[in-house]
Chains A and B, each alone.
Chain A
Amino acid sequence: MAKYNSHILVCGGTGCRASQGEEIVENLTRAIEENGIENEVQVVRTGCFGFCEKGPVVKIIPDNTFYVHVSPDDASEIIAEHLVKGRKVNRLLFVDPETQQAVSESKDMGFYKKQLRIALRNCGFINPENIEEYIARDGYAALGKALTSMTPEEVIKEIMDSGLRGRGGGGFPTGLKWDLTRKVESDVKYVVCNADEGDPGAFMDRSILEGDPHSVLEAMAINGYCTGASNGLIYIRAEYPLAIQRLKIAIDQARESGLLGKDIFGTGFDFDVEMRYGAGAFVCGEETSLIHSMEGLRGEPTVKPPFPSEKGYKGKPTNVNNVETYANIPVILLKGSEWFSRIGSEKSKGTKVFALAGKVNNVGLIEVPMGTTLREVIFDIGGGIKDGKKFKAVQTGGPSGGCLTEKHLDIPIDYDNLLQCGSMMGSGGMIVMDEDDCMVSMAKFYLDFTVEESCGKCAPCRIGNKRLYEMLDKITKGNGTEEDLARLRNLSNVIKDTSLCGLGQTSPNPVLSTMENFPEEYLAHVKDGKCPAGQCRSLMEYVIDEDKCVGCTLCSRVCPVDAISGDKKMPHVIDVSVCIKCGACMEKCKFGAISVQ
């Protein structure tokens, strides 16, 4: 990127593209031409900057000015003012919510201050559709180093010493996995990248592939060199068309540059990558299911051992790693295991990408050192809870994880601490909930997901989860009893102990952790027939405020079951024994006299 004086980086992740990123680029380019500065300024379409809440985002290099909520109409002003006259467009700068001051550089924003970007190092900085930009930022240097100056054993030792653990959920030591695959004798071996990201709340793998696809290809080739495999396969979900398109471009460019294919770097090492597409099944993220799916079978898991590293795709040793795990590899080889292992906590090294979603001010992707606390993530980086509401819980690890509450806010986040709190790292989705969210309903939503995504192969998961869902449904409808709570707990433990794969072994976690952390909320549902958060409709009563009701009779006319009575111009009343809680009266009332309690 040397020729030009300035670069304008425009976010081109799926989210920002959907919100007019395309048009912004067009208008910027046009304005540049109109001002005759096309030899000085270049517009670069990048991957996601992470700060999706404020998107579309535009960044100007070299002065690092960061514009937020940019619309296509702002393009001409940015060019005329900033690039021609050198004056920042103040109205597009980010305003710090605390100090109310405009902040122009991303490094001074709360959202970026505590972050450390290793896996996301290139996302938002390079054009992912241009291999040269990746190479300019040390891309493929790690592969070159490994192939020309290190033995496979040395590379694996470096990864082992770094302490890197799998980012796909389990946290298995990556170096150890590579070593296991290497040690199995076989003429053919495979390297698989698991890009079937399906955890509700997770979208980091998509962003890495959209923003920096070459880092994954490079790491797969390094893995091939270490394990003795010359075939790479990327299993990606069909729901990610932009990531698929960019991966295809990246694979083509890498082949053209001789970085994939035969005799890479003239060392005699052959390696190539193919793509395989998922077809809408969450369980295919589990590694044995994924392998079966690639073999043309139903995506059902099988018992481990044998692990894929011994017997995987087509019965051959197969190394399966997650997208984010791969994205860490090139940096570790270039900067050294010692550098990497200094970051993070004692047993979890490096950084983790989290996807913040739900009721938090700054939704988006963040990357922080392991050991950062939830408080820092949610309040310092995430900017706290939306609309000034109170924090209630955060679900980590998707449907396999549990909820963490106020009392967990200061625990350093790493694999082991999360497990101890009854949750898990999972793929790094974090869904933040506030005081209006009912925990019983939350558990029910997750079970609904599991019931649908269970492959049906083993009975505890297929039948057990369905029964859990039914019990939770009963409780949220106000028909639960205290015995149901004991049954819930009991059945949850049975499912955990007896299911075949990770899906069933973890699916009761949302139930157990909400029961553990919010016992009073469950009791309120079953004993008092009340939903403290006010989310379970069946447990609420519609009431008319006498003082506000003017007796217009609109509500009684719209009520489908004639539950509302009252004379004209006199306050009306709802007969709760007849009311079916459809909410039609509340929608119709022009005086705000009807509320739910």
Chain B
Amino acid sequence: MSEVKQMVKELANQYGRSNESLLPILQGIVTKELHISEEAMIEVARELDMSAAQVYGTATFYSFLDTRPTGKYVIRVCKTITCMMHGKNQIIRELENLLKIRLGETTHDGVFTLLETNCLGQCHKGPAMLINELPFTELTPEKVRKIIIEYRNREISAN
């Protein structure tokens, strides 16, 4: 059995095979694989006995379900109004400089992806961003630098 097939099967065993299990399974795939490949979608459709179109429809609707490959750490900077007022542009510029990529891109080593997102519910502590699921608030360019260095070091020691 292929790896993807195995993974989808395990997730289906965990969450069930009804319609309601679809979103948890897709979220499970993202946790494991960072994104949902076409192969995985077809596998899910087969496993849950629904059309691949339905899986595709659901997977592409939600902004946190990436259907394209992303870096290991997805950075999502809040671009909504209060973070805007508190200077999120500066934060994005700093991140672009640090990671040497532009908004929407992934670093060459596949470690970071830089994206924008809407309000994270941390408006009183803006600018705010998420790295995968973890929120970081009251960002300044210096703080962002420290955070990225920390993640990079973690990456180095993990290898």
Q: Please give the residue numbers on chain A whose beta carbons come within 8 Å of chain B beta carbons, in ascending order.
A: 14-15, 18-19, 52-53, 197-203, 205-206, 237-241, 276-282, 293-300, 314, 355-359, 363-365, 395, 429, 431, 437, 442, 445-446, 449, 452-453, 455
Contact = CB atoms under 8 A, between A and B. Distances in A.
A206 B118 CA distance: 16
A18 B135 contact: yes
Given A18-B138, A437-B85, A296 B23 contact: yes
B84 A294 contact: no
Interface stretch (B91-99, B101-109, B119-127, B149-157): B119-127
B19 interface: yes
A294 B62 contact: no
A241 B133 contact: yes
Given A15-B122, A239-B120, 6 more contacts: A18-B136, A280-B62, A282-B118, A299-B61, A442-B81, A445-B84
B63 A279 contact: yes
B73 interface: no
A313 B64 CA distance: 23
B133 A356 contact: no
Contacts of B27: 238, 277, 279
A428 to B, nearest CB: 12
Interface of B: 18-24, 26-27, 54, 57-58, 61-65, 80-82, 84-85, 117-126, 130, 133-138
Contacts of B21: 296
A201 B82 contact: yes
B19 A201 contact: no
A251 to B, nearest CB: 16
7 contacts: A18-B137, A203-B121, A203-B123, A239-B130, A295-B19, A295-B20, A358-B82
Contact residues of A: prevailing secondary structure: mixed
Nearest to A13: B125
A11 to B, nearest CB: 12
A471 B126 CA distance: 28
A238 B80 contact: no
Contacts of A395: 81
Contact of A431 (B58, B81, B125): B81
B62 A279 contact: yes
Given A241-B134, A293-B23, A200 B62 contact: no
Contact of B138 (A19, A199, A280, A455): A19
B130 A359 contact: no
A296 B19 contact: yes
Contacts of B123: 200-203, 355, 357-358, 429, 431
B119 A14 contact: no
- Closest 9 pairs between A and B when the two form their complex, measured CB to CB: A296-B22, A279-B62, A280-B64, A280-B63, A363-B124, A200-B119, A357-B123, A298-B61, A296-B19
A403 to B, nearest CB: 12
